[in-house]
Amino acid sequence: MTEVPMQESETSRLAIPLLPIMTAVFVAFLVIGLALPVLPMHVHDGLGLGGFAVGVVAGAQFAASLVSRVWAGHFADNRGGKLAVVCGLVGASVAGLLYLVSLEFESTPVASVSILVAGRAVLGGAESFIITGAVGWGLVLGSPANTGKVIAWIGTAMYAAFAVGAPIGGSLYDAFGFVSVALATILVPALTLSVVVPMKAVASPHREPAAIRAVLGAIWVPGVGLAMASLGFGAMMTFASLLFAERGWTPVWIGVTVFAVSFICARVFCGHLADRLGGATVALACLVLEALGLAVIWYSPWELLAVLGAALTGFGYSLVYPGLGVEAIRRAPAKSNGLAMGTYTAFLDLALGFASPLLGLLAGGAGTRSVFLASAIVVACACPVAAWLKKRTVATTRQ
């Protein structure tokens, strides 16, 4: 009879120190969400540049995030998660300043977009420091038994910020232009510093820094599983609205919205399952759900069925990241949580960077619908990875 109250008490004890970190992550990533729907319009309509320039501006943040993941992980392990978050917030404000400077050169679009690309690159590095530092900080505050919960909760704050930031950014742009987004990108991270700086830092223990080769050798299997699972995320974010538009289903954004809501609900209500049942076990079940959801979208002749597929995809993908993340942390060298999470997340960046253009080529040649079938197949191929990790975990426990 006391098991549930004890569990609730443990959850409350973890939530209290994590809540300010989650708040900082939410507010910091809000500025990234603000720019998501705005940058293509600003570059194309405001500066009069073509699709290639739009792609370069959008991709600059991804490229910088990928390059800086390992650096951010080393920094968080050696200097502490709090300092990594602070550096990331400062960097985000600098990115906003570059956004603002780029507006002074609108009469020369090439110069303006070059400064904008620099701002996006700085923001990508800032994003790596914020999320890697926050997760590393949270893992120090929580016990190893709460690894999955920490990853899930902090990740929820990030994705919720994306979901909220996009409509706010669109409204700001429509009302006041790109200058409002630039100012928000400067001010919001600066204000977030007032929340983070007074927080108590957790000192990192003195240790020899882990070699990236050792960390990569330990976490590459969960990383490969994450990379394959992330194709479902990329398909939903990039092609779901296009598919709904082609089919005449309205509103065209409903698939993405249902995906995001299902994703967040799974993190909130089921984020503890990876700790309780095992990361690989949860990841395996959720990979099946994600692949099924993508297949349903591919097959669906009706909007309602496609929306159901989006919900299944969001729920499944939501818990794959923390599930496989638990396995990555468990296998990584001791006291290298930040580097392990940074390297693990880099597999997601790498997958989206390479897969998105390939999925675009597939959509152009075989139709948008085919993207979801191909993604379902790749996600299903990640199931043996999770099954192998589960088997190895059971074998290690029995030894």
**Can you tell me which residue has the tokens 């929580």?**
142
The alpha carbon dihedral of 122, 124, 128, 134 has a sign of positive
pLDDT at 308: 96
pLDDT at 2: 43
Domain 15-197 and domain 209-399, same fold? Reply is yes
pLDDT at 88: 92
pLDDT at 6: 46
CA-to-CA distance for 138 and 23, rounded, in angstroms? 12
CA-to-CA distance for 201 and 288, rounded, in angstroms? 40
Q: What is the pLDDT along the chain (399 residues), one digit of tens a residue?
A: 444 444 555 556 677 778 888 888 888 788 887 887 677 678 877 888 875 676 677 667 777 877 887 788 878 878 888 899 999 999 999 999 999 999 999 889 999 999 999 998 899 899 889 988 888 888 777 766 777 778 778 877 877 787 777 678 878 888 898 999 999 999 999 988 888 888 877 655 545 555 677 788 888 899 999 999 988 988 887 788 778 888 998 877 788 778 888 988 888 888 778 878 888 999 999 999 999 999 999 999 999 999 999 999 999 999 998 899 888 888 887 667 677 777 887 888 778 767 767 777 788 788 889 989 999 999 999 999 999 998 886 555 444
Do 322 and 155 form a contact (C-beta atoms < 8 A)? Answer: yes
Write out the two tokens for 362: 């597939």
Class of domain 209-399: mainly alpha
pLDDT at 394: 56
User: What type of residue is 9?
Assistant: S
Count CB atoms within 10 A of the CB of residue 264.
19
CATH fold of 15-197, please? Answer: Growth Hormone; Chain: A; (1.20.1250)
For the chain, the structural domain boundaries read: 15-197, 209-399
pLDDT at 169: 80
Do 373 and 380 form a contact (C-beta atoms < 8 A)? Answer: no
In 3D space, the residue among 149, 393, 136 whose CA is nearest the CA of residue 275 turns out to be: 149
pLDDT at 33: 76
Average pLDDT, whole number, for the chain?
A: 82
pLDDT at 93: 94
Among left, alpha and beta (phi > 0; psi -120 to 50; other), residue 250 is beta
CA-to-CA distance for 47 and 121, rounded, in angstroms? 19
CA-to-CA distance for 31 and 187, rounded, in angstroms? 9
C-alpha distances out from residue 65 to 30, 42, 58, 294, 331, Å: 16, 22, 12, 27, 24
Residues 6+ apart with CB under 8 A from 215: 73, 332, 333, 336, 339, 340, 343
pLDDT at 205: 52
Provide φ and ψ at 107, rounded to 5°.
Answer: -70, -20
List alpha helices for the chain, DSSP H. 3-35, 39-41, 51-79, 81-102, 109-141, 147-176, 178-196, 212-247, 254-270, 273-277, 279-299, 303-331, 337-366, 368-381, 383-398
User: What type of residue is 111?
Assistant: A
In 3D space, the residue among 22, 270, 354 whose CA is nearest the CA of residue 158 turns out to be: 22
Do 308 and 255 form a contact (C-beta atoms < 8 A)? Answer: no
The distance of Cα 65 from the centroid of its chain, to the nearest Å, equals 11
